[in-house]
């Protein structure tokens, strides 16, 4: 899947990480707000529970005091009944009355509390408790008075009533006291329940945060690693193709080097042919000198040597024509050497552009250039010699014109001159054969040059392939950069 088709692929790495972390942070913020709200609720509940617990504790203590007051009433009245109000032991009535006052005060305090909360059921319980306590207290006082006034005979009959009243009071007072003590446990239980709730919420939030972080991490890793892996594979394939193109370029360079070696051999044969041609030209010059000497010997025989001299003049003209043609051919050879030198320079430039792969080809191109320079120099030397030969031929023609009338009768000299002319003709044929060989060698050099051109085209094609592969690598690299930077 390409980056354009992947919604996450259009985002930068920073944005991806920011989005993932923002999601996690948002979840943590939501959890923090929820935890703060729950904590505030628990704080308020704890504050209310503390206030309720304090009030409930005070009421529970008051209820316990009321129970103690009821016990004290019983204790003091029984003491009076046992001592029958003897001097020093008659203060039980005052103590019982004080305990009764404390009990009634507790009843009134609970009435105010229940009136404030609108607890009608508890108010009814207080009314029953107050009535039971008053009956208990009055029966106890009456029993104590009978014991003091009449003794056991008067007090014992009231003892069952007092015990029944005490049992009725306990039956009403104990549940009431237990209810007040239980209100403390209820307030504490509310705080405990809220604490359990926030513990559960904390555990659930932690698990959700862990799950969310895991999911975000997996999504981010996949959105980053998959495109990078795909692009890395593309780069590897491009590298392989570039390697193949480089191998083909190497093979073409080897063939080009071999062709250059063949061209060097052809150029060397051309140089040898030109050297042979120079020797032949030198021989012709020597023979021309011999012909000049024979002509000097035949000065006195002008009558017989006229016809021969005319023929000799014509032969010298042909030699001049041949020398001119030969000079033209040597000029063509010089131009070919110049073009070969230019090709060698161009090959050296292309080898320099090829870098390390064309280093060997550069050396061969340099040697070809050197051979071309040597060929040009040999051609220039041949041109000089041919020009000198032409000048000498011109001088010979001029001398022949001067002695034309003097050599008419020199038949023997004429025959000698004819022989020399034949030798010159043979030398001309030999020169023609050498020139043909030079031409053949130049044809071979031309063919090798064309082959080198074809190989150069192949090298250029390989370079084009490498360029295309490099462009593909550039496109892939650009896509990788866009994936990393988000197209920035």
The residue behind tokens 């920035």 is 488
Q: What residues does 407 pair with on adjacent strands?
A: 302
Asked if residue 297 and residue 169 are part of one domain, the reply reads no
Report whether pLDDT(469) > 70: yes
- Rounded Cα distance, 302 and 292, in Å: 15
Most confident region among 145-154, 307-316, 475-484 by mean pLDDT: 145-154
Q: Provide the domain count of the chain.
A: 2
- pLDDT one-digit tens code per residue, 167-206: 888 888 888 888 877 776 665 666 567 667 777 877 887 7
The angle formed by the CA atoms of residues 326, 330 and 331, to the nearest 5 degrees, is 115
Per-residue pLDDT band at 301 (split at 50, 70, 90): confident
340-376 per-position pLDDT tens digit: 888 888 888 887 888 787 777 778 878 888 888 888 8
Nearest Cα to 299, choosing from 382, 223, 407? Answer: 407
User: Which pLDDT band, with edges at 50, 70 and 90, does 15 fall under?
Assistant: confident
More confident residue, 310 or 281: 310
Locus of tokens 């926030």: 198
Mark whether 223 and 260 lie in a shared domain. Answer: no
Instruction: Kindly state whether residues 124 and 216 are assigned to the same domain.
Output: yes
Based on the domain organization, do 350 and 425 belong to the same domain?
yes
Mean of pLDDT values over 412-440: 72
Given pLDDT bands bounded at 50, 70 and 90, which one contains residue 9? low
User: DSSP state, 29?
Assistant: H
Both tokens of 350, joined, read 């292309």
Give every CB contact of residue 445 below 8 A, 6+ residues apart in sequence.
Answer: 263, 266, 267, 270, 336, 340
Closest CA to 414 of 301, 289, 258: 301
> Taking 60 as the threshold, does the pLDDT of residue 429 lie above it?
yes
Please report, for the domain that includes residue 393, its CATH number: 1.10.287
Please determine, for residue 128, whether its predicted confidence score (pLDDT) is greater than 90.
yes
Shared-domain flag, residues 219 and 162: yes
- 171 and 261 co-located in one domain: no
Tokens standing for 431? 């020169």
For 383, the token pair is: 């041109």
User: What is the rounded end-to-end Cα distance, in angstroms, of the chain?
Assistant: 21
Q: Classify residue 328: in a domain, yes or no.
A: yes
What is the model's pLDDT at position 102? Answer: 94
Identify the CA nearest to 30 among candidates 197, 208, 194. 208
CA triple 464-466-467, angle to 5 deg: 60
Of the three residues 199, 232, 265, the one that is the final residue of a domain is 232
Residue 428 confidence (pLDDT):
67
Beta-ladder partners of 409: 302
Q: What are 148-152's contacts with CB under 8 Å, separation 24+?
A: 148/80, 148/81, 148/84, 148/85, 151/84
243 within a domain of the structure (yes/no) = no
Q: How far apart are CA 208 and CA 218, in angstroms?
A: 15
CA angle, 88 then 91 then 94, to 5°: 165
Q: Do 285 and 149 fall within a single domain?
A: no
Domain match, 182 and 323 both: no
Range of the domain at 328: 253-485
Which of 102-116, 353-367, 403-417, 422-436 is predicted least confidently?
403-417
DSSP characters over 160-195 = HHHHHHHHHHHHHHHHHHHHHHHHHHHHHHHHHHHH
pLDDT the model gives residue 262: 77
Q: Is residue 412's pLDDT more than 80? A: no
Q: How far apart are CA 389 and CA 268, in angstroms?
A: 26
Tell me, rounded to whole angstroms, the distance of Cα 289 from its chain centroid: 88
268 shares its domain with 197: no
Lowest mean pLDDT among 44-48, 176-180, 329-333: 44-48
């Amino acid at each position: 899947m390409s980056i354009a088709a992947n919604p996450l692929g259009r985002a930068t790495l920073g944005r991806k990480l920011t989005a993932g972390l923002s999601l996690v942070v948002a979840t943590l913020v939501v959890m923090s707000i929820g935890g703060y709200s729950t904590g505030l609720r628990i704080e308020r509940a704890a504050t209310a529970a503390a206030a309720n617990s304090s009030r409930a504790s005070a009421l529970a203590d008051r209820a316990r005091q009321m129970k103690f007051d009821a016990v004290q009433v019983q204790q003091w009245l029984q003491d009076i009944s046992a001592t029958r109000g003897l001097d020093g032991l008659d203060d039980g009535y005052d103590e019982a009355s004080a305990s009764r006052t404390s009990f009634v005060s507790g009843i009134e305090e609970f009435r105010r509390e229940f009136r404030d909360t609108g607890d009608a059921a508890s108010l009814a319980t207080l009314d029953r408790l107050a009535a039971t306590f008053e009956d208990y207290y009055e029966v106890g006082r009456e029993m104590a008075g009978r014991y003091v006034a009449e003794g056991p005979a008067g007090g014992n009959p009231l003892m069952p009533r007092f015990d029944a009243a005490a049992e009725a009071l306990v039956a009403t007072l104990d549940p009431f006291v237990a209810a007040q003590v239980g209100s403390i446990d209820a307030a504490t239980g509310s705080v405990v329940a809220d604490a359990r709730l926030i513990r559960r919420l904390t555990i659930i939030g932690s698990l959700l945060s862990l799950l969310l972080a895991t999911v975000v991490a997996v999504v981010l890793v996949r959105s980053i690693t998959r495109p990078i892996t795909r692009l890395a594979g593309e780069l590897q394939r491009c590298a392989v193709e570039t390697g193949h193109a480089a191998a083909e370029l190497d093979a073409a360079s080897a063939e080009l080097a071999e062709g250059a070696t063949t061209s060097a051999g052809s150029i060397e044969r051309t140089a040898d042919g030109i050297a042979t041609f120079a020797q032949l030209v030198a021989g012709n010059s020597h023979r021309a000198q011999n012909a000049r000497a024979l002509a000097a010997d035949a000065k006195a025989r002008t009558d017989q040597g006229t016809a021969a001299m005319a023929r000799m003049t014509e032969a010298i003209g042909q030699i001049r024509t041949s020398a001119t043609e030969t000079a033209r051919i040597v000029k063509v050879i010089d131009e070919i050497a110049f073009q070969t030198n230019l090709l060698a320079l161009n090959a050296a430039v292309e080898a320099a552009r090829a870098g390390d792969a064309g280093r060997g080809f550069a050396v061969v191109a340099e040697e070809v250039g050197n051979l071309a320079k040597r060929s040009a120099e040999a051609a220039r030397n041949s041109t000089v010699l041919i020009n000198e030969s032409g000048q000498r031929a011109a001088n010979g023609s001029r001398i022949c014109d001067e002695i034309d009338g003097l050599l008419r009768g020199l038949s023997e000299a004429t025959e000698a001159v004819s022989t020399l002319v034949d030798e010159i003709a043979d030398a001309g044929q030999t020169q023609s054969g050498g020139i043909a060989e030079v031409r053949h060698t130049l044809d071979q050099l031309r063919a090798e040059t064309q082959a080198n051109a074809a190989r150069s085209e192949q090298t250029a094609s390989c370079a084009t392939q490498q360029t295309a592969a490099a462009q593909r690598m550039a496109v892939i690299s650009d896509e990788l950069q866009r994936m990393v930077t988000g197209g920035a």
